[in-house]
Amino acid sequence: MKFMHSAAFAACCLAPSALLADCVEPGSFITASAAAPCVLVLDDPAPEAAPAPGAKHLKVAPAQPAYTVGDAFPVYEFSMLIDPPRYGLPPVTGNWRYYRAKGVTYKVDARSFAVLDVVEADQGMLRN
């Protein structure tokens, strides 16, 4: 799924010739032509091959949680996780729920809607 999003991003940003260059699977490079000199690295911190001369790298910073512990969480705007163990999270054992917002999972109090905990974005099967 992450590769599909990256490929769609590349299709929007790079020249069509770049999409046909080297991209086949996650971890490969998409190298642009001389008209659009840039390289999009997909899930590969250490590239196997050197990028083309004059190419640039696009790095995306990890998403920062929009809400912190104690913040009021807008429960009606985001999805509640119904079966947390399915996603590698511990089951709900109290008066709180898991919510997913912008790639981050939050543990939210069911009555006050206050954020109790910010769960890491890459925990379990939850992927952006």
Structural domain spans, the chain:
1-60, 62-128
Starting at the earlier edge strand, list the strands of the sheet with 104-109: 79-80, 96-101, 104-109, 115-119
DSSP H or E segment with residue 23: none
pTM tops 0.75: no
Which of 32-36, 54-58, 95-99: highest mean pLDDT? 95-99
Mean pLDDT of 90-115: 93
- Provide the 10 A C-beta neighbour count for residue 17: 13
- The yes-or-no verdict on residue 100 having pLDDT over 60 is yes
Compute the distance between CA of residue 13 and CA of residue 7 in angstroms, rounded to an integer: 10
- The yes-or-no verdict on residue 20 having pLDDT over 60 is no
